[in-house]
Amino acid sequence: MKLAANALTTILYLLAVHKDVQKKVRDEILRVLDDYLMPSVEQQKELKYMNIKQPTLMNMVINENLRLFPLVSQLPRRFNLLGLEPSKKTLAG
């Protein structure tokens, strides 16, 4: 949960810094959700997964955020706990 919160925080920060991109992302989301925000229940359409996937700019923002700020920045090649190292035959898993 903490990783997702960190990713969302940096996404919101980047969108706050880049107001032009923020406006484009907002417009894109409103365009996709326009049919679902109608006041009348009869006018509302069923929200489908394919329609949610439509915002390509938002996906690009998320991917760029993960490129700039990876969730797991680096994994150590060697593990050392209290001065002990696992044998070479030890499998990670």
Mean pLDDT of 14-39: 85
Q: Is the dihedral of CA 26, 28, 32, 38 positive or negative?
A: positive
Whether 31 has a pLDDT exceeding 80, the answer reads yes
Q: Is residue 13 over pLDDT 90?
A: yes
Predicted TM-score (pTM) of the model is 0.62
pLDDT the model gives residue 34: 75
The pLDDT of residue 72 is: 78
Distance, in Å, from the CA atom of 14 to the CA atom of 62, rounded to the nearest integer, reads 10
Q: Which residue stretches of 19-83 are H helix? A: 19-33, 49-52, 56-68
Three-state DSSP at 28 gives helix
Query: Which residues, 6+ apart, have CB-to-CB distance to 74 below 8 Å?
Result: none
pLDDT digits (tens, 9 = 90+) for 35-88: 666 655 655 566 666 666 666 899 999 999 999 988 876 666 666 667 777 677
H or E element, residue 15: helix 2-17
Q: What are the domain boundaries of the chain?
A: 2-68
pLDDT at 14 over 90: yes
pLDDT at 73: 67
Identify the sign of the CA torsion 22, 28, 31, 33.
negative
Decide: 31 and 56 in contact? Cβ < 8 Å: no
